[in-house]
Structure 1
């Protein structure tokens, strides 16, 4: 089933929500829609801040759509699919608005990449994170630059090599993937509301200049992320990955 992207603008804050019935995973069409939405918001001068969230009470984001991955039959299709996550991460870093993530549940693979590409994140103790790509024969190549930028190469490697291991919300907070951690969703939302209103009241020009500072040194991502997408696009065609994906679907 196709997912959806919705935008609600209240005063000078845009809340961008994504939803997919398959644990908020992303098919390529929805990745493109999120990318387009973020670029469209760049043109809205009345918006100062973006809150990025997913809907429901289950997973925050289960990453790539396994159903669509199984449909990839050639290098071009594989490259195009993984470029979807590259497009989203580049749209987030190039946004002229600061992006605050609201993380309410588990995040896997590309979902961790989206968390890492947020400029600031609020989360609950129900959050757990995992980079499971090696277990299915690929790797978190596209999202690695964003994850490593946020938590460092050592922590990224720890997540990647322990591909079947969930990392706790406390681990993610200690490593810097989560900025603010709360016991309950209600507590998180109350604090997110207060923080966002205060941040959006600051000088928009100063916020934009700060955004540029946060993302200094990432200019090569316009090429790097697509080179990484090509690696994943090749590996997803391997017999190992096809078998692993099919076994995962059976479980």
Structure 2
């Protein structure tokens, strides 16, 4: 399927989704959010895809924020609807996807761009990357989950400071804070991220999906993460992957997982 604002390539069961609006520093327009939502839903159903890498085109930006021109004149109701629809269709959907989604942050990740990266399961950044949530400088607050996910990742105090000052942090600061897992030269970003993706793909897809669900449950209101872990742990025993993994271990050979 062809998209106006994103590019997709699939190689060795890794799908790379590239946000492709370099003239706008890959800003998140409503159309871009729709493209991303539709594409990731299709990739989730694609049995030939095991891991998704999300990145931006060019050397300047992952996503340098939302497309402000689209909502500058919104009403209270329209603003709330914008946030609700975006969270449901894309940000929350990515966070709860059973397939791993890795953000490869190749430059500026600001506002909605950082929120998109935080919705991914973890993040790798290039050395030139800059991250921040500058919404209060526009008279707004983060609306795509930033006030919730940033404190979860870096702690309440640091999140309060970042959001209230609207300041950007460097890739190295982001690594120190725990916002990103790795910082690498920009020319090595996708190769490095692909190496991690290949390590993930050696393991059982069903189990990985259940691990994502159990980890996320700890951060959801009204859910007991331990209960989710217990149930998910038990469900793994009914899979072909469990039988293959344990048999391969006992036979001292490499497991061949199918995701079933």
TM-score (norm 1): 0.79
Secondary structure class of the residue paired with 1:97: coil
Larger radius of gyration: 2
- Distance (whole Å) between structure 2 residues aligned to residue 190 and residue 27 of structure 1: 28
- Distance (whole Å) between structure 2 residues aligned to residue 211 and residue 49 of structure 1: 13
Give, in angstroms, the shift of residue 81 of structure 1.
Answer: 2.4
Secondary structure class of the residue paired with 2:24: coil
- Distance (whole Å) between structure 2 residues aligned to residue 38 and residue 6 of structure 1: 12
Secondary structure class of the residue paired with 1:46: coil
- 1:60 pairs with 62, 77, 85, which one? 62
- 1:47 pairs with 46, 49, 54, which one? 49
- Distance (whole Å) between structure 2 residues aligned to residue 77 and residue 206 of structure 1: 40
- Distance (whole Å) between structure 1 residues aligned to residue 194 and residue 45 of structure 2: 24
Matched, 1:207 2:203: no
Secondary structure class of the residue paired with 1:26: coil
Tell whether the 8 Å contact from 1:3 to 1:26 is kept in structure 2 after alignment.
Answer: no
User: Cα distance 1:218–1:37, how it changes in 2: closer, same or farther (>3 A)?
Assistant: farther
- 1:148 pairs with 126, 151, 155, which one? 151
- Distance (whole Å) between structure 2 residues aligned to residue 27 and residue 71 of structure 1: 15
Q: How does 1:1-251 map to 2 (within 5 A)?
A: 4-20=5-21, 21-72=23-74, 74-87=75-88, 88-143=90-145, 144-163=147-166, 165-182=167-184, 184-219=185-220
Secondary structure class of the residue paired with 1:64: coil
How large is the RMSD of aligned CA atoms in angstroms?
Answer: 2.0
Tell whether the 8 Å contact from 2:83 to 2:143 is kept in structure 1 after alignment.
Answer: no
- Distance (whole Å) between structure 2 residues aligned to residue 42 and residue 111 of structure 1: 21
Relative contact order (alpha carbons < 8 A, sep ≥ 6): 1 or 2 greater?
1
Runs of 5+ consecutive residues of structure 1 not aligned to the other structure: 222-251
Tell whether the 8 Å contact from 1:15 to 1:53 is kept in structure 2 after alignment.
Answer: yes
Greater mean alpha carbon deviation, residues 19-28 or residues 141-150: 141-150
Runs of 5+ consecutive residues of structure 2 not aligned to the other structure: 223-260
Q: After the TM superposition, which segments of 4 or more aligned residues of structure 1 sit over 6 Å from their partners?
A: none
Secondary structure class of the residue paired with 2:61: coil
- Distance (whole Å) between structure 2 residues aligned to residue 86 and residue 209 of structure 1: 22
Tell whether the 8 Å contact from 1:104 to 1:126 is kept in structure 2 after alignment.
Answer: yes
Render the CA deviation track for 1:108-127: whole Å, top value 9, x for unaligned.
11111112112121111101
- Distance (whole Å) between structure 2 residues aligned to residue 167 and residue 122 of structure 1: 15
User: Cα distance 1:84–1:61, how it changes in 2: closer, same or farther (>3 A)?
Assistant: farther
Name 1:225's counterpart in structure 2: none
Give, in angstroms, the shift of residue 78 of structure 1.
Answer: 2.1
Render the CA deviation track for 1:78-104: whole Å, top value 9, x for unaligned.
233223431321111121101111111
TM-score (norm 2): 0.77
